[in-house]
Amino acid sequence: MNQAFIPLLVGGFGLLMALIIFLKVLKLPAGTGKVKEIADQIHAGAMVFMRREYTILFSFVAILFIGLYIGFGTWQTPFSFIVGALCSAIAGYFGMFSATKANVRTTVAANEKGQAAALSVAFYGGSIMGLTVAAMGLLGLGLLYYLFGTDHETVHAIHGFGMGASVVALFSRVGGGIFTKSADVGADLVGKIEAGIPEDDPRNPGVIADNVGDNVGDVAGMGSDIFESYCGAMIACIAIASTMSVPIYQQIAERQQDLMFLPLALASVGLICSVLGIFIVKLASGQKPDVALRMGTIGATIIFIIAAYFLMAYLAINNHVWQCVVLGAAGGILIGLVTEYYTGGKPVRDIAKDGETGPATVLISGLAVGMESVVVPVITLAAIIFGTSLLLPEGAGVYGVGIAAVGMLATVGITMAIDAYGPVADNAGGIAEMAEMGPETRAITDGLDEVGNTTAAIGKGFAIGAAGLAALAIIAAFIEVISNSVPGFALNISDPRVLMGMFLGGIFPFLVSAMTMRAVGDAAFDMIKEIRRQFKEIPGLMEGTAKPDSDKCVDIATTAALKRMVAPGLLAVLSPIVVGFVFGAATLGGMLGGALITCVLLALTMANAGGAWDNAKKFVEKGNFGGKGSTAHTATVVGDTVGDPFKDTSGPAMNILINVMAIVSLVIAPLLAKMPGGIFA
């Protein structure tokens, strides 16, 4: 059998498993009465947002498709672009649709059957997202590899897939992030601080929008984020391998084609290992939730590392390439553990204690935690880069970086499943609170949600590390493509054009962060005014005898997100094109390097500070340092409110920004090679 069919078969298997789990979830009881009514509202709100977002998104995709067709004059790259956009959009839509069906079933399972059953349902909801992301990536890239991957004249067309995936990720992650945090901030500030009512209280008009936001931001948005890095790493490896000279590739493999196929083969093995990891979690569901989830993640990674060894032997690829895979997989686990410490360990308790002296000390200590948390993950990334350069011969080290990124992302099915489990569990708790279920049910959902907060924070750290490595590999592929057509091309730090590019690149992460933070602030302002209006003007709302107008809050968040996601999207897509064609490939390469470093540092700082603030608030709400209603509680709520857009909007936008800029640069590299100095040359 032609090896190019393997990713297609495994991708089809992954999609089938996702469908089987989805049908299994649908057969579970979904509740009646108030529970069903609340769940239907959340599902409907999420679907409305996705439909409106995809309408704008596909208009943008159509314009880019026409631009690519005019620029390249052939159909292959624009076709790949459309395939990438469709695969990412389908994965996000189906995953989020499933999550909004699993949330209420998790609540019912907690109420009727207990913790083990509720954990299984919530994890199944996340697993559908994880398997769909992995499967759609393999199906889309596998198809394009079969069509274009064996011909050196057309292999560059595959790069278009990454650009399509990145554009969808940009809009889903940024738009979803603005939606979820504008609703969350508005609901918290008016409900918890001003009105003094609990989180997820059914009297709060912003609560339904907040729960909708968990799905559109943390399920669909996160899924498209990981999908982008997952596919980008594979595309970079294919591109680097296709440009290797014969003397270099023969030192690590018998055939160049095997090196091009290897990332797809590793991802295929990783998907199967992810399915095994899902079964491990199911078998361990009677354990504590965090133990069961950790067993699945680490178990899948260990099985993958062993399977990858035999895969390398089968393809007759140098054992040092396998060691690069191990470096990437181990690096991903280490980054996750460090993130878990800073967002769930002693630093969180320290922030909570600082709440006794007010919001200012909470903000100061949280920012310090975020900044400190950058150190070990960045050293880990540097160690992976250094390690791969030692393992592989000169000229092949960048391929090792790409393979390390693939190794980190290959088990994305289980990684994404555990991340998406978090918002499903969070929604389940919200539904239990709004439906006024008993304290026993809420205790179970709160326990699942607490673990979900940690898994979500770990997922964000993992996503940042993976995005950084994937972007680095894509940048290396960009340099290789230009070098093949422009002899002697290199990014020399003493070149003024490269230095100028590095400083330009450092601007964009700060600018996009400012744009997204301001978008959340403006949208939250509108949300706060509406919630205040309803509390004031709807008779009986505070007494619980009248219903809030939740649809109005969902509409405010949707409109704000869709209006404000366009500018960051245009900036990310157009900046490489403008800089590349105006100032040349060297300046663009420098810009990508500057943006990469700044994006990784900012993303880690914001994500971990936000996660620490969030869990500090929850630590106080458990009864520590005075509990709910205390000075410490008020202070940590303020910290969490500031941290929300940090960890769920601006921080994640950094992953997307660098990958979008890198993949757009790789796509236009063949065109830049014809005018490498830009218009000023």
**What is the model's pLDDT at position 434?**
83
More confident residue, 8 or 521: 8
Q: DSSP labels for 459-502? A: HHHHHHHHHHHHHHHHHHHHHHHHHHHSTT----TTSHHHHHHH
Please name which of 616, 23, 55 lies closest in space to residue 352, comparing C-alpha atoms. Answer: 616
pLDDT band at 1 (very low <50, low <70, confident <90, very high): low
Is residue 83 within 8 A of residue 140, CB to CB? The reply is: yes
Mean pLDDT of the 340-361 span: 91
**What percentage of the chain exceeds 90 in pLDDT?**
33
Tell me: pLDDT of 283 over 80: yes
Please tell me the distance from the alpha carbon of residue 657 to that of residue 416, in angstroms, as a whole number.
20
Q: Where are the alpha helices (DSSP H) in 29-114?
A: 34-72, 76-112
Tell me: pLDDT of 460 over 80: no
Please name which of 58, 9, 258, 234 lies closest in space to residue 141, comparing C-alpha atoms. Answer: 234
Q: What is the DSSP letter of 197?
A: -
Beta strands in 532-595 (DSSP E): none
**What is the model's pLDDT at position 425?**
85
**What percentage of the chain exceeds 70 in pLDDT?**
99
Which residues, including other chains, have CB under 8 Å from residue 238's CB and lie 6 or more apart? 145, 149, 155, 158, 260, 263, 264
Half-sphere exposure (CA, 13 Å, Cβ side) for 646?
Answer: 25
Q: What are the φ and ψ backbone dihedral angles of 70, each rounded to 5 degrees?
A: -70, -40
Q: Could you report the per-residue pLDDT of 82-108, keeping only the tens digit for each?
A: 999 999 999 988 888 898 899 889 998
- Give the N- to C-terminal CA distance of the chain in Å, as an integer: 50
Mean pLDDT of the 600-625 span: 90
Q: What are the helix and strand counts (H, E) for the chain?
A: 23, 0
Is residue 613 within 8 A of residue 636, CB to CB? The reply is: yes
**What is the model's pLDDT at position 378?**
93
- The one-letter amino acid at 181: K
Q: What is the DSSP letter of 139?
A: H
Tell me: pLDDT of 201 over 80: no
Tell me: pLDDT of 38 over 60: yes
**What is the model's pLDDT at position 387?**
92
Q: What are the φ and ψ backbone dihedral angles of 158, each rounded to 5 degrees?
A: -60, -25
pLDDT band at 226 (very low <50, low <70, confident <90, very high): confident
Q: Could you report the per-residue pLDDT of 252-267, keeping only the tens digit for each?
A: 888 888 999 999 999 9
Q: What are the φ and ψ backbone dihedral angles of 72, each rounded to 5 degrees?
A: -95, -25
Please tell me the distance from the alpha carbon of residue 190 to that of residue 225, in angstroms, as a whole number.
31
Least confident of 262-266, 318-322, 454-458, 507-511: 454-458
Least confident of 30-44, 316-330, 491-505: 30-44
Q: DSSP labels for 391-406? A: HS-TT-HHHHHHHHHH
Q: Which two structure tokens, joined as six digits, stand for 144?
A: 């394009």
Is residue 436 within 8 A of residue 319, CB to CB? The reply is: no
Mean pLDDT of the 179-208 span: 78
Mean pLDDT of the 231-255 span: 87
Is residue 29 within 8 A of residue 108, CB to CB? The reply is: yes
Three-class DSSP category at 253: strand
Mean pLDDT value across the chain: 87
Q: Which two structure tokens, joined as six digits, stand for 656?
A: 């997307």
Tell me: pLDDT of 76 over 70: yes
Mean pLDDT of the 377-388 span: 92
Axis crossing angle, helix 439-485 with helix 76-112, rounded to the nearest 10 = 170
Angle at 424 between CA 420 and CA 426, to 5 degrees: 115
Q: Could you report the per-residue pLDDT of 464-505, keeping only the tens digit for each?
A: 888 888 888 889 889 888 988 888 888 888 899 999 999 999
